[in-house]
Amino acid sequence: MKRLIIIAIAAISLASCNIPWVHVKDNRLIGPDGKELILRGLCFPDPVKLIREHQWNERYFDEAAAWGANAVRFAVHPSNLRQMGWERTFQEMDKGIQWAKERGMYVIMDWHSIGNLVTEKFTSPMYNTTKQETFKFWRTVAQRYKDEPAVAFYELFNEPTVTAQGTEGATWPQWKQLQEQIIDTIRTYNPKAVCLCAGFNWAYELTPIKSEPIERENIAYVSHPYPQKCEQPWADKWERDFGFASDKYPVICTEMGFCLADEPGAHVPVKSTGIYGKEITEYFERKGISFTVWCFDTSWAPMLISDWNFTPTTQGRFFRQYLQENSKRKP
């Protein structure tokens, strides 16, 4: 009963078909009520993965809403999109968008590749794509959801890197220009979408924007500040590497999270203790930074749940309590 009440209350804010779009004003996201919107949500794994595991359903979205999320991120992998087929995948995502909307949650659409899109070199075959396919994806998203305010955020490319083996060979000006070209393509069909732009180092560092920001309107910047991206104490280094950007632009940390060193899936850069969750959420609150936690899944680490009864892991217990406590709080 408590979960149903939470879902019903949350749904009021987005269920109307006449809700306005989220937009950027200075360094803030402005929500449907004309006030600042802070996203506190969950990263979903690839929709195709959930479909194959028979978990892409309303029960899954019910649980995300019950955790207190006001946003969910769809991590669309190029390889899975090709394998399942574009039309079927988008039909399934249509369902997910409706389920999210009915439960008061925005959707971040994420083109989930890792590597160097400029040179078309990637860290794993599952992330292989091309500039041509990337532009096709964003044209499809922008055309299909141009009238759907719930799909408010378009994350252009998950984790750009030019430092991993085989992915070297692009400069910031080249990556900046390519992102601007993708944004221009999106704007042709949907001028209202908030485009999310990432820096290098697996979408962690934003320092190049100090001198060469993305020269487009209605954008936000992305960082993925996992605990081992810098050494403790963290706060000053987070400020140096990405947090400074929030003084001028909206920042959304579309991936973050942790697991204990002895837990399943532990790997660099996600190993830490519960102190990370406390410190990074306190930092986000001070800076007005939005976030979605990776990953609302049983096998993609760091996991938030350990089974499909939604039993929370160590980080799951922390973030579920945090999201629930903050889900009705004004920013």
Helix (H, G, I), strand (E, B) or coil at 185: helix
Read off the DSSP letter of residue 308: T
Dist. CA 120–CA 182, nearest whole Å: 15
**232-255, pLDDT tens digit by residue?**
999 999 999 999 999 999 999 999
Taking alpha carbons only, the member of 327, 240, 183 closest to residue 223 is 240
Dist. CA 234–CA 247, nearest whole Å: 18
Position 16 confidence tier, pLDDT thresholds 50, 70, 90 = very low
Question: Does a cis peptide bond (omega within 30 degrees of 0) precede residue 259?
Answer: no
Dist. CA 317–CA 282, nearest whole Å: 17
Residues 288-294: what's their mean pLDDT?
98
Query: Largest Cα–Cα distance of the chain, in whole Å?
Result: 55
Strands (E), the chain: 23-25, 28-30, 40-43, 71-76, 106-111, 114-116, 121-122, 153-155, 159-160, 194-198, 219-222, 251-253, 290-293
**99-143, pLDDT tens digit by residue?**
999 999 999 999 999 999 999 999 999 999 999 999 999 999 999
Complete DSSP assignment for 30-43: E-TTSSB---EEEE
**Does an H or E element contain 90, and which?**
helix 86-102
Per the listing, tokens 């990074």 go with: 280
- Mean pLDDT (the chain) is 93
**Domains of the chain (ranges, CATH numbers):** 2-11+35-326 (3.20.20.80)
pLDDT for the residue numbered 329 = 52
**157-214, pLDDT tens digit by residue?**
999 998 887 788 899 999 999 999 999 999 999 999 999 999 999 999 999 999 999 9
**46-87, pLDDT tens digit by residue?**
999 999 999 999 999 999 999 999 999 999 999 999 999 999
